[in-house]
Structure 1
Amino acid sequence: MYDLVIKNGILADGTRAKRKRADLCIEGGIIAAVCERFEGEAGQVLDAHGQIVAPGFIDIHTHSDASPLIQDFEPQAKLFQGVTLEITGNCGVSTIPSNDRYRKEINRYYQGTLAIPMGALELREDSVSDVAKRAELAPPSTHYGMLVGHGTLRGSVMGFGLRDPEPAELEQMEQVLDREMKRGAFGMSLGLIYPPSSFGKVDEIAALAKVVKRHNGIVSVHMRSEGPRIFEAVDEMLEVTRRSGVHLQISHLKLMGRPQWGRAEELLQKLEDARAEGLTITCDQYPYTATSTSLTALCPKWAFDGGLQKLVERLEEPTPRLLSEIRAEMENRGGAEAVMIVSTMDHMPEANGRNLAELSELLGCPPEEAAARCLVKSQGSVACNYFCLNQEDMLRIMKDMRIAVGSDGVNYPFDSAVMDVEVHPRSYGTFPRFLQTVREHRLMPLEDAVYKMTGLPAEILGLTDRGVIAPGKAADLTVFDENAVEDRCTYLDSNQKPAGITHVIVGGVPALKNGERTASKTGKILLHTT
């Protein structure tokens, strides 16, 4: 007798193959059989009622590093979207490999910049294996895999200095990265607009990428520019890829700022030309026309020399040069009206929900000075949405079959008593929004859309045991109504459950049943093997 049978489903198996009616039989967390019609007995039967049965969605780009460790409450935003696996440690920032030298900056980033309500949690893990052991003691509801953040790696070895590494420091970074890859990291991430990762140059990055290549991992990158210098930024990463041979994963591919709008075809062709050279390049994307990051993204990298506290000190009495560079980057991102403050962690509540134009009027100063004042009052912990993308570019990029879906979000809770700030809706709605967008704009067959959320990210990560539905594969599954699935979030009301996600199976056990959370917690930390 099987543990679980899903009957009357329409199978979209993650390979782009044409959908078909099938029943799935699950035993011991593994798909035991795929059959036309199952007539036997099972410990539990779920009726899909003709809905789509797909592999569990894989969110290849997230910032949910703290989520599997939180015990005060349960993060559920991703589970309700059908996500069964998240990849954390993106954009150059990860909880590991940390040490006493850098841990304060890491805790500040996750609790402040990402507005994660961590309760009593203090991040103290130093290694991938430490996180895996902690998650074994208190399993999360879904699976997680980890990247090593270059900024965390650099900061733990060199601190926050704006300088090149000494040979001994680079060797130490290589050794630590090699250790974490052996322990199960899927690769390394770069955050080339976020210090201290942004302090790294091509020679340093390529040397570290060679370590990742030896372990068949990926290097994901938030490029140095996604706006005026985006093509230069692509060239920089192509040079790293040529030198190292590593698999390059470009994070949240987009064209930011009105002067770049309409260049999606040109950008995609540049990547295709690089693939013709023999380079391995894939990307991810979220289905929204607003970005989200810290307000500190407006500040030049030289102002971060010495760390976030040094930036705040410089902003207390900003020089004309600093204000000028903040203003220039603000214009690159769409101007003062396009920068909406989401959270100041209660330091400046009057700023929440206002754009910089409105805040400057409230404070009686220019927008760049308003940004500086807000950062000072909030000690650098200000989350923002930037409305600077073009829908036509977004849709063109979305159609590319080498671009996976990635939320760039966090696995937040739904409990309003815990999550009392508004965040970018991508954390709560990316995967339903992607399916909704595909349906409304008729971008591609559903089978292709499912592949971009399942089989493709599994291929990128080198996961051979999941991402497709077949006997012997992990029983991580999502059942959804293709005609009803939709994102219900807005930018001013982000804490909303999506519609149309019916069942979610994690490790062979229903974690979401008929749209309701069950008591199961069968998630774990997945480890990369070379």
Structure 2
Amino acid sequence: MAVNYLLKDGLVLDGSGRAGARADVLLAEGKIVAMGPQLSAAGAKVIDADGLVVAPGFIDSHTHSDRTVFHAPLGPSKVMQGVTTEVMGNCGIGLFPVGAGRRRRELETYLATMEGELPPGGIDWEDMDGYASAVERIGPGRNLAPMVAHGALRIAVMGSDDRVPTAAEMDEMKTLLSRSLKQGAWGMSTGLIYPPGSFAATAELAELAGVLAANGAVYASHIRGESKTLPAAVEEAVSIAASSGARVLISHLKAIGQPYWGQGRAALARLDEARSQGVDVWADQYPYEATSTSLTALLPGWVQDGGTEAMLWRLADADLHSRIRQAVREEMTVRGGPERVRIASLRTGANGKYVGRSIAELAWDRLLAPEDAVVALLKEEGGAVEAIYFSLSSEDLEGIIVSDFVAVGSDGSGLDPAKDGGKMVHPRNYGTFPRVLGRYVREQGLLSLEAAVRKMTALPAAIFGIRGRGLLQPGYNADIVAFDPGRIRDRADFADPHRYPEGIEHVFVNGVPAVAAGRLTGDGRGEVLRRRG
């Protein structure tokens, strides 16, 4: 029998950005059934929310939990932040659609170079329906909203080749995209610095975005450049939005590298200008001055043409070594130099002593130039090296975070410290949402509490068209977070990233407690959300 809950005397922020009011919230059968002062309900379990903010569960607009959900289904690193819904399949990296035969193997090989693990037995589905069924069988601890990954879409149809699709291939990609959207995918993401997405021309992306526009779905893009080419990359995204009519979300808006600090705020201003002209463009952001992605991000696209095996072959080719090492050196310099690139995780245990250490330390230990150390490590680990890059500025971060059209997105994954505690991960996996509320609301006063909660709830719900979530209203799903505004803060850092935040007292997912009195309940009642119409 389902238990009803009554949250009493909390400061209710409904997610809209309006000022809060002291009220009670009654939950029954997975829904919000009433809100107001002095509510009562026979048989309901009463939770004293005096001194707490009661808000909609946070919607993480940019995550990579597509694979980690299989080994950490409850996603404790997310629910302990108050996250009740994650939008997955970002940066063009995802697990569907899946081509046949060698295309399936090619996708699995490609994903093996990224953070996360495939389920036992690998990929045994073909489409959004099959992937969703696989996730539903394990019982996720929060709601998951998958997008189509452009990288997977391209691999399914034409592999990892650096070329323009034929007319027939373009039609097939559009057909697969349409099918995924009809099955409930929330849009399509691109990763235009990662092969094979980086091989796509603007015309290909705009044509696919037209399919999204026709279905009312989102085009979310890790744009083509975030340093020297940031202005041109933003312009490309704006042009795709304008020409296709699709709603465009620029992922984790930022400017990488000290020579380009300040360009993040300039990019935000350009988006604001486009919006004033009627272009449907938005952004999300995480509140840290470091990025995290594969070490292969230091390689030029031509090295990765044809997929992982072709990349490893080129890394071993003595005739290409000089050209590759120069490109790696240049990109590493943009990202702050070898001292500011830290190894986060590796495929094998052979190089485990380097996890948490910088490329400069790796190079010193091996008596190699830093660029040679990068190439050697990638070869030894089959390309599967994750790294953290300390290359962003506080000025850009703070200039972007105040925008009312920029949502909060962690760019992280749902992790379990009991299973993942040995990995040197980015602290955003555990601390993104409390960090905004603690540092940028309470300590620095850059945002009001109401505005910050909106950026975590109603705003991402509106961008993606997620109905029945993101606001506190009778009839909405009972995704709820109750937190202490005077105490909430992130505790995870780069030295000790697997630390839960403070101040999150209660989290409900579809009316079931996932966090109670600051502790995980071990109960997961999340769903794979499917977009309808």
| TM-score (structure 2 length as normaliser) | 0.96
Alpha-carbon distance between aligned partners in 2 of 1:474 and 1:421, rounded to the nearest angstrom = 35
1:327 alignment partner in structure 2: 329
1:46 alignment partner in structure 2: 47
Amino acid at match of 2:389: Y
1:435 positional shift: 1.0
Matches for 1:352-431 after TM superposition, within 5 Å: 352-415=355-418, 417-431=419-433
Q: Quickly say closer, same or farther: Cα 1:418–1:444, change in 2 above 3 A.
A: closer
Name which of structure 1's ranges 32-41 and 506-515 shifts more when overlaid on structure 2. Answer: 32-41
Alpha-carbon distance between aligned partners in 2 of 1:356 and 1:50, rounded to the nearest angstrom = 46
Q: Any conservation in 1 of the 2:30–2:510 contact (CA below 8 Å)?
A: yes
Q: Deviations over 1:228-254 (max 9, x none)?
A: 110011111122122201101000000
1:194 alignment partner in structure 2: 194
Q: Any conservation in 2 of the 1:183–1:527 contact (CA below 8 Å)?
A: yes
Amino acid at match of 1:199: F
SS in 2 for 1:65: helix
Q: Deviations over 1:414-445 (max 9, x none)?
A: 20x55421101111111111111222110121
Matches for 1:158-173 after TM superposition, within 5 Å: 158-173=158-173
SS in 1 for 2:417: coil
Q: Quickly say closer, same or farther: Cα 1:163–1:109, change in 2 above 3 A.
A: closer
Alpha-carbon distance between aligned partners in 2 of 1:452 and 1:435, rounded to the nearest angstrom = 11
1:181 alignment partner in structure 2: 181
Alpha-carbon distance between aligned partners in 1 of 2:465 and 2:94, rounded to the nearest angstrom = 20
1:43 positional shift: 3.2
Alpha-carbon distance between aligned partners in 1 of 2:158 and 2:286, rounded to the nearest angstrom = 33
1:282 alignment partner in structure 2: 282
2:456 alignment partner in structure 1: 453
SS in 2 for 1:494: coil
1:254 paired with 2:254, answer yes
Alpha-carbon distance between aligned partners in 2 of 1:109 and 1:4, rounded to the nearest angstrom = 45
Amino acid at match of 2:430: Y
1:486 alignment partner in structure 2: 489
Q: Deviations over 1:225-280 (max 9, x none)?
A: 00011001111112212220110100000011011112343222111111122111
SS in 1 for 2:436: helix
1:435 alignment partner in structure 2: 437
Q: Any conservation in 2 of the 1:102–1:152 contact (CA below 8 Å)?
A: no
Q: Deviations over 1:118-138 (max 9, x none)?
A: 573623222211123233333
Q: Quickly say closer, same or farther: Cα 1:117–1:152, change in 2 above 3 A.
A: closer
1:84 positional shift: 0.2
Alpha-carbon distance between aligned partners in 1 of 2:364 and 2:206, rounded to the nearest angstrom = 46
Amino acid at match of 1:335: G
Amino acid at match of 2:393: N
Q: Any conservation in 2 of the 1:103–1:124 contact (CA below 8 Å)?
A: no
1:310 positional shift: 1.2
Alpha-carbon distance between aligned partners in 1 of 2:118 and 2:44, rounded to the nearest angstrom = 37
SS in 2 for 1:81: coil
SS in 1 for 2:44: strand
1:15 alignment partner in structure 2: 16
1:242 paired with 2:242, answer yes
Q: Any conservation in 2 of the 1:101–1:156 contact (CA below 8 Å)?
A: no
Amino acid at match of 2:408: V
Q: Any conservation in 1 of the 2:70–2:119 contact (CA below 8 Å)?
A: no
Matches for 1:467-506 after TM superposition, within 5 Å: 467-506=470-509
| TM-score (structure 1 length as normaliser) | 0.96
> What CA RMSD, in Å, does the superposition of the two structures yield over aligned residues?
1.6
1:179 positional shift: 0.3
Alpha-carbon distance between aligned partners in 2 of 1:102 and 1:437, rounded to the nearest angstrom = 45
Q: Quickly say closer, same or farther: Cα 1:359–1:135, change in 2 above 3 A.
A: closer
Q: Deviations over 1:128-178 (max 9, x none)?
A: 111232333332110000110111100110011111101000000000000
Alpha-carbon distance between aligned partners in 2 of 1:488 and 1:108, rounded to the nearest angstrom = 35
1:268 paired with 2:268, answer yes
Number of residue equivalences: 527
Alpha-carbon distance between aligned partners in 2 of 1:121 and 1:486, rounded to the nearest angstrom = 39
Q: Any conservation in 1 of the 2:95–2:131 contact (CA below 8 Å)?
A: no
SS in 2 for 1:353: coil
2:114 alignment partner in structure 1: 113
Identity %: 39
1:131 alignment partner in structure 2: 131
Q: Any conservation in 1 of the 2:69–2:414 contact (CA below 8 Å)?
A: no
Alpha-carbon distance between aligned partners in 2 of 1:419 and 1:393, rounded to the nearest angstrom = 31
Alpha-carbon distance between aligned partners in 1 of 2:172 and 2:25, rounded to the nearest angstrom = 49
2:104 alignment partner in structure 1: 103
Amino acid at match of 2:486: N
Instruction: Give the unaligned 5+ runs of structure 1.
Output: none
